[in-house]
Amino acid sequence: MPAQSFGVATDRRRQIVDITTNVQQAVADRNIDEGLVVVSVPHCTCTVYVNEDESGLADDTLEIVDTLTTGGRWRHNRIDNNAEAHLAASIMGNAVCLPLSGGQIQLGTWQRIMLLELDGPRQRQVAVTMVDG
Ligand code: ZN
């Protein structure tokens, strides 16, 4: 079950990047017809999720992250002043699992796989792990 991976360079503190095409390419490279694909990030301050790639929703997503995490007296800020990013990543999770059928990731019409940078700019890695089945 070896993973493939690709990099994403973010250029803002908080940023949403549509990574669907990159994941689809990784899946195409493995030639698995039926199974599962797990998309994950080995980072504590970014996350992956599935939703629509629409600019208003992107702004709403960034706003709810702010609403949920800003203003606390977070103890982790004593270390590197990015507790909000860690907490948002914990809330949203660091992986999504999706079905593969006919060699294609099964996404709804408007669904895209998104990376949410919470403490950029940084170079991020995305792992794509496929399970044949
Ligand atoms: Zn930290």
Q: With 60 as the cut, is the pLDDT of residue 37 above it?
A: yes
Tokens of 32: 């698995």
12 Cα: distance to centroid of ligand 1 (angstroms): 17
Of the candidates 89, 96, 101, which has an alpha carbon nearest to the alpha carbon of residue 51?
96
* Structural domains of the chain, ranges and CATH numbers in brackets: 4-132 (2.60.120.460)
- pLDDT confidence band for 1 (50 / 70 / 90): low
Nearest-10 crossing angle of helices 55-69, 83-92: 120
Q: Output the CA 55–ligand 1 centroid distance in Å.
A: 28
CA 38–ligand 1 middle distance (angstroms) = 25
Compute the distance between CA of residue 53 and CA of residue 55 in angstroms, rounded to an integer: 7
Distance CA 1, CA 31 (A): 13
What is the CA(87)–ligand 1 centre distance, in A?
10
In this prediction the pTM is: 0.95
Strands 3-9 and 104-105: unpaired
